[in-house]
Structure 1
Amino acid sequence: MWSICSVLAVVLATGALLIALDAPRANAVVETVLKVADAVDLGVFSRVDGIVRFEGADAATRDALANWGLGAVFYVVMGRVLERVLRS
């Protein structure tokens, strides 16, 4: 369970980094990572309508970094909790 949650956290963190670096969306790898990150953000950590909302210049980048960053932390914590619960 820990490895699955870790992979999901890495996907969200990579997606946020790609948004911050303004990676070309025409690239198939970039598009795939962003689609998977959108799918695993649970809606709660969505870069469009997530927990944290910014306004002004670079709001989309800050939204992605904050929300997907929180989502990555959530998956890491939940992975550790689930690992301990399943091992007991």
Structure 2
Amino acid sequence: MASLVWLVAVVCALFLAVGALLVALDANRDNAIVTFVLEMADKLDGPFSRDNGVFTFEGKDGETKGALVNWGIAAVVYLVAGKILDRIIRP
């Protein structure tokens, strides 16, 4: 069970990290895979939204900075929470 919790946390963090990278690289949003990853990252971000997150950025690269910072923090939160839960569940 602990391994499953850790795996879910890693997959969530991976979606957020890849989503931030796709925003930074200005990936083609008409591509189905890019759209899927960005939609999953938007669902997983919680209070760390790229648009209205903990940190908001204005200007030319505001969306990119918001995605990198907020989704990066969210990915770290998922990894830390997953590891804590892993240690609690595992004897």
**Displacement after TM superposition at 1:35 (Å):** 0.4
- Aligned match of 2:14: 10
State the identity as a percent: 51
Paired residue total: 87
Tell me the equivalent position of 2:29.
Answer: 25
Residue 36 (structure 1) shift: 0.5
Show structure 1 runs of 5+ residues with no match.
none
Cα RMSD for the two superposed structures: 0.7
Partner of 1:39: 43
Alignment of structure 1 residues 50-69 onto 2, 5 Å: 50-69=53-72
Deviations 1:14-71 (A, max 9, x none): 00000000000000000000000001111x0110110011122201100000000000
Structure 1: distance between partners of 2:48 and 2:19 = 12
Give, in whole Å, the separation in 2 of the partners of 1:60 and 1:77: 25
Secondary structure at 2:80 match in 1: helix
Structure 2 match to 1:79: 82
Deviant stretches of 4+, over 6 Å: none
Normalising by structure 2, report the TM-score: 0.93
